[in-house]
Structure formats: C-alpha cells, structure tokens
C-alpha cells in the first residue's frame, strides 16, 4: 500500500485549487454514502449498545434508556451467548486451517508442472466461491439429508448407514465446517497460485542445484516466500468465518440445542426476532473487537518471523 502522493511537476496555485475542487467533488458521493450508511451507523451501534433499545425505539430512537455497561455484563453472564461465542471459535479454529490447507494443497498441485487441464481444474475448484451461500447451504442441507441425501445415498449403495448429520449435536457443527471449507477453499487456492507464480524460477533452481528434495524445497523455499499471501488469506478467511451466518441460518437455525448457534446468528435473532437491539448491538461490538484482536494477532505472528 503506497502512501506517497503522486509526484507530478510542481503545481501552480491555480491548478492546485482546481485540483482541490475536483478532488473534493470526486470524493463527495463516496463520502456522503459512507457517512450516512457506515460511519453514522457504526457510532449508533456503539451508542445503542449502552441502551435498552427495543421494538418501540425503532419508531422513537431517542427514547431509549441509557443502561451503561449492563448489556455487556449481561452478555458474559449469559450461557447462550457464551455458547454462541464458543461455537464461533470452534468454527474458526477448525475451519480456517482446513480452508488454508486445502487451498494450499490444491494450488501446489496445480502449480507442480502439470501441462493439461490446469485451467479446467482451477475453474472447477473455484465454482463454489461464486455461488450464493444461501443456495450452497440449501444444496448441502439436501446433500446431508438423512433419507434422500447424497451421503445417505452413497452409504446405502455401499452398505453402511449414515448418521443424521444436522440433527446431531456432535456432528452438526463439523458438517457446517466441511461445507464452509468446500465453499471457501477456491479463494485461498487462487491467491496461493498467484503467490506461487510470483516465486522466481531461479530460486527454485538454485535450491535444486544445492540438492534440495521436493519436500525440502517446499519447506525452505515455498512456505517462507508464500508468507505474505498466507497472511492475507489467513486474515480474510478468519474475518469471514468469524461472521458466519448464512450456513447455520439456513441449515440448522442454530440447533440442535444451540450447537450451531453462532454470534452473528444470535445477534440477528436477538435484534430482529426479539428486537433486543441494545443487547444485539453489544454483541456486534464484542464480535468486532474479537475480529480486530485476531487480525492484529495474525499480523504479528505471520509478519514478524520474516524479519
């Protein structure tokens, strides 16, 4: 990210003022929309999180009562929210490494010098990324369907019985994770492919000449040089996974027994089904704080080692 201003020839004052005017005119549409639909709501969420904002406040927002940190303290005493927090972490801790891992494996395979069908495979792996999560969730609910689904069908064909994945407290979340990995792996793959192709051939050849095997080359050359890509993929995937919503919304509605209730889904239900908007706002900020903390942590962990 370059911060430097464009270094043109020295600007005369009249041109500078013309550029001032143009600059601000060009900024206006974005800034107006940003202030109205992002900046103001971000602050409003914070303010709402300190109030008892409820259904009647949708029409009379200013009547909401200030309750200090009550919403936040209540959240951390609420087993349901803690369960949602745990589920979200579970989803991230398992889902993110699996997504990165499978994306990296696919990218390395595609980059390993195969001549034919490279585009074909790449496109095939990427298709799930472009499809709507809602449609994907509906499809996977059917794939996992205990009586008519693909997995049950395969099981019947091969002669073993399959569990009802989404109705099992132990298996529902892992099922959602598998699905999320399936859908997001393509993004990681494409980014890793770009990263792999940026590694100069000379470096690899030098490693070869020094007698490095394939595994050593991967460990000593590929992984370190791929670190910036790794950082980007890790951060983006983690942010996406921390906000997981559509998968449990469509597939399980948070069940069975809250085993797939995520923070975003809990926030949605509290906010728009029960109109506990003050408490839902507090959840939004707790989630945001976690996103921020994890992102900063990842930057530290993945960046410092290269220095």
Partner 1 sequence: MSATEPRTTRPPKPGRTATSRRPGTTALTYTLLTVGLVVMSAPFLWMAISAFKTPKDLGASPPVWIPTEWTLANFRELLDLMDIARNFMNSAVVAVVVTVCNLVFCSMLGYALAKLNFAGKKAVLGVVLGALMVPGNLMLLPQFVMMSKMGLLDSYAGLILPFAAGAFGVFLMRQFMMAIPDELLEAARIDGAGEWYIFWRIVLPLVKPALATLSIFVFLGSWNNFLWPLVATNDPDKYTLPVALATFATDPTKAAGSNGVLMAGAFLVVLPVVAVFLVLQRHFTQGIATSGLK
Integer Cα distance of 186 and 240 in angstroms: 14
Q: Residue 298: count other Cβ atoms within 10 Å of its Cβ.
A: 18
Shortest CB 135 distance to partner 1, Å: 4
Q: Hey, which residues between 97 and 116 contact partner 1 (CB under 8 A)?
A: 106, 109-115
Shortest CB 305 distance to partner 1, Å: 19
Does residue 31 belong to the site contacting partner 1 (CB under 8 A)? yes
Shortest CB 31 distance to partner 1, Å: 7
Which range in 65-73, 119-127, 166-174, 299-307 contacts partner 1 by CB under 8 A?
119-127
Q: Residue 243: count other Cβ atoms within 10 Å of its Cβ.
A: 17
| Nearest one of 277, 289, 235, 307 to 53, comparing CA atoms | 277
Does residue 26 belong to the site contacting partner 1 (CB under 8 A)? yes
Write the burial class of residue 147 (CB in 10 Å: 0-12 exposed, 13-18 middle, 19+ buried): exposed
Does residue 58 belong to the site contacting partner 1 (CB under 8 A)? yes
Which range in 66-74, 162-170, 190-198, 299-307 contacts partner 1 by CB under 8 A?
190-198
Residue number with CB closer to partner 1 (11 or 301): 11
Positive or negative torsion for Cα 99, 101, 104, 109: negative
Shortest CB 6 distance to partner 1, Å: 6
Angle between helices 79-110 and 172-197 (to 10 degrees): 40
Q: Hey, which residues between 261 and 300 contact partner 1 (CB under 8 A)?
A: 264, 267-268, 271-272, 277, 280-281, 284-285, 287-288, 291, 295
Which range in 71-79, 91-99, 161-169, 189-197 contacts partner 1 by CB under 8 A?
189-197
Which range in 16-24, 78-86, 88-96, 163-171 contacts partner 1 by CB under 8 A?
16-24
Q: Hey, which residues between 65 and 104 contact partner 1 (CB under 8 A)?
A: none
Convert 35-62 into a string of H (helix), E (strand) and C (coil).
Answer: HHHHHHHHHHHHHHCCECCCHHHHCCHH
Shortest CB 212 distance to partner 1, Å: 11
Residue number with CB closer to partner 1 (2 or 68): 2
Does residue 23 belong to the site contacting partner 1 (CB under 8 A)? yes
Shortest CB 162 distance to partner 1, Å: 12
Q: Is the peptide bond before 193 cis (omega within 30 degrees of 0)?
A: no
Question: In the set 141, 172, 230, 269, which binds partner 1 (CB under 8 A)?
Answer: 141
Shortest CB 272 distance to partner 1, Å: 6
Integer Cα distance of 171 and 144 in angstroms: 11
Q: Which residues contact 29 (CB under 8 A, 6 or more apart)?
A: none
Integer Cα distance of 173 and 248 in angstroms: 9
Q: Hey, which residues between 167 and 186 contact partner 1 (CB under 8 A)?
A: 182, 185
Does residue 132 belong to the site contacting partner 1 (CB under 8 A)? yes
Q: Hey, which residues between 191 and 230 contact partner 1 (CB under 8 A)?
A: 191, 193-201, 204-205, 208, 228-229
Dmax (CA) of the chain = 82
Shortest CB 205 distance to partner 1, Å: 5
| Nearest one of 281, 300, 303, 238 to 71, comparing CA atoms | 281
CA distance between the termini of the chain: 18
| Nearest one of 262, 265, 303 to 84, comparing CA atoms | 262
């Amino acid at each position: 990210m370059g911060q430097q201003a464009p270094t043109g020839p020295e600007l005369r004052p009249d041109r500078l003022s013309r550029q001032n005017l143009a600059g601000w005119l060009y900024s206006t549409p974005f800034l107006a929309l940003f202030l109205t639909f992002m900046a103001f709501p971000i602050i409003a969420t914070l303010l709402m999180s300190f109030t008892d904002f409820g259904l009647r406040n949708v029409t009379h927002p200013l009547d909401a009562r200030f309750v200090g940190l009550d919403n936040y303290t209540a959240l951390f005493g609420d087993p349901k929210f803690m369960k949602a927090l745990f589920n979200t972490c579970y989803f991230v801790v398992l889902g993110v490494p699996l997504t990165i891992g499978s994306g990296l494996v696919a990218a390395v395979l595609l980059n390993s010098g195969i001549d034919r069908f490279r585009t074909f495979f790449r496109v095939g792996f990427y298709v799930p990324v472009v499809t709507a999560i809602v449609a994907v969730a509906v499809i996977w609910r059917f794939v996992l369907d205990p009586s008519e689904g693909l997995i049950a069908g395969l099981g019947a064909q091969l002669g073993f019985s399959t569990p009802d994945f989404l109705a099992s407290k132990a298996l529902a979340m892992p099922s959602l994770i598998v699905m999320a990995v399936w859908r997001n792996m393509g993004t990681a793959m494409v980014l890793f492919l770009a990263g792999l192709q940026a590694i100069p051939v000379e470096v690899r050849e030098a490693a070869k000449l020094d007698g490095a095997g394939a595994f050593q080359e991967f460990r000593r050359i590929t992984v370190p040089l791929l670190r910036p890509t790794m950082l980007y993929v890790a951060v983006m995937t983690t942010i996406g996974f921390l906000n997981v919503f559509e998968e449990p919304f469509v597939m399980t509605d948070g069940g069975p027994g809250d085993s797939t209730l995520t923070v975003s889904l809990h926030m949605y239900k509290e906010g728009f089904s029960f109109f506990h908007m003050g408490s839902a706002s507090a959840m939004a900020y707790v989630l945001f704080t976690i996103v921020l903390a994890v992102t900063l942590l990842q930057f530290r962990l993945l960046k410092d080692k290269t220095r």
